[in-house]
């Protein structure tokens, strides 16, 4: 079993919420992701069985959505936007800086399993770019100094990437 009893129960509870069982697919992907941190074929197959849809259906849909890693990633998945508005504000320099700091390429994970670096498409935070998403949070108006502080904090076992602060937008 790849999924906890709790997640399995949550998936079961979704089965009758919508007109079709299949409509619970996307919410199920979120549940699996929340528990496992990625969507592997094994986890997806099991979720499909619990939901009562075919394994093909869940893999077909899940493979489309880039929000969910399909393989295990580092504890902190750094998703840096490198679309136009953030790039105009220096996002690419920032990606280069993070690469250098962590000694990894985009797409890779540090050997200690702490950080994975991704570049992602527009996060809808163009007015406060450059921006990166780590866990549930956006980190906005990024500078090298801010990145230094964040990486240090995370390296020292600080605040979890998924922790939430009440007002995340820096307007």
Partner 1 sequence: MSEKILFKYIDYPDQDRIETYIKNGGYTALRKVLKEYQPEEVVDIVKASWLRGRGGAGFPTGVKWSFLPKDGNKPIYLIVNGDESEPGTFKDRQLMEYDPHQLIEGAIISAYAIRCHTAFIYIRGEFVRPAEQVGKALQEAKDKGFLGKDILGSGYDLDIHIVRGGGAYICGEETSLMESIEGKRPLSRQKPPFPAIEGLWGCPTIINNVETLSNIPHILNNGAEWYKSFGTEKSPGTKIFCLSGHINRPGNYELPMGVNLKELIYEYGGGIIDDRPLKAVIPGGSSTPILRADEIDVNMDFESLAAAGTMLGSAGVIVMHDGTCMVSALQKLTKFYEHESCGKCSPCREGTNWMNKILKRMLKGEGRPEDVDLLYDIAKNILGRTVCPLGDAAAMPVIGFLDKFRDEFENICNGGKPKGTIHFPFN
Task: Please state, in angstroms and rounded to a whole number, the distance separating the CA atoms of residues 49 and 7.
Answer: 13
Task: Please state, in angstroms and rounded to a whole number, the distance separating the CA atoms of residues 169 and 141.
Answer: 10
Return the number of the residue (97 or 155) whose C-beta is nearest partner 1.
97
Applying CB under 8 A, which part among 5-13, 70-78, 83-91, 109-117 lies near partner 1?
83-91
Applying CB under 8 A, which part among 4-12, 64-72, 109-117, 152-160 lies near partner 1?
64-72
Return the number of the residue (85 or 110) whose C-beta is nearest partner 1.
85
CB 140 to partner 1: min, Å: 10
For partner 1 (CB under 8 A), the number of binding residues is 51
Does residue 66 touch partner 1 according to CB under 8 A? yes
> Interface residues for partner 1 in 91-120 (CB under 8 A)?
92, 95-96, 106, 120
Question: Is residue 83 within 8 Å of residue 132, measured between CB atoms?
Answer: no
CB 60 to partner 1: min, Å: 5
Q: Give the CA distances from residue 2 to residues 6, 65, 77, 133, in Å, rounded to whole numbers and listed in that order.
A: 12, 21, 21, 26
Tokens of 50: 């619990």
* Cβ neighbour number for residue 59 with a 10 Å cutoff: 16
Residue of 73, 68, 78, 74 whose CA lies nearest to 32: 68
Q: Give the CA distances from residue 75 to residues 34, 37, 51, 91, 155, in Å, rounded to whole numbers and listed in that order.
A: 13, 9, 28, 22, 10
CB 169 to partner 1: min, Å: 6
Does residue 25 touch partner 1 according to CB under 8 A? yes
**Binding residues vs partner 1 (CB under 8 A):** 17, 19-20, 22-27, 29-30, 53, 57, 60-68, 82-85, 87-89, 92, 95-96, 106, 120-129, 133, 136-138, 164, 168-169, 171
């Amino acid at each position: 079993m790849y999924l906890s009893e709790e997640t399995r129960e949550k998936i079961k509870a979704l089965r009758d919420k919508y007109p079709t069982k299949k409509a619970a697919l996307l919410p199920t992907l979120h549940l699996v992701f929340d528990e496992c941190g990625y969507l592997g074929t094994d986890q997806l197959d099991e979720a499909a069985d619990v939901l009562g849809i075919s394994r093909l259906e869940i893999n077909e849909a899940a493979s489309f959505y880039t929000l969910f890693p399909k393989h295990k990633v580092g504890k902190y998945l750094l998703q840096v936007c490198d679309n136009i508005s953030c790039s105009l504000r220096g996002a690419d320099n920032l990606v280069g800086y993070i690469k250098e700091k962590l000694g990894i390429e985009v797409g890779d994970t540090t050997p200690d399993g702490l950080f994975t670096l991704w570049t992602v498409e527009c996060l809808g935070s163009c007015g406060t770019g450059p921006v990166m998403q780590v866990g549930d949070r956006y980190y906005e108006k990024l500078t090298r100094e801010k990145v230094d502080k964040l990486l240090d904090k995370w390296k020292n076992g600080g605040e979890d990437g998924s922790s939430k602060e009440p007002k995340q937008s820096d307007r």
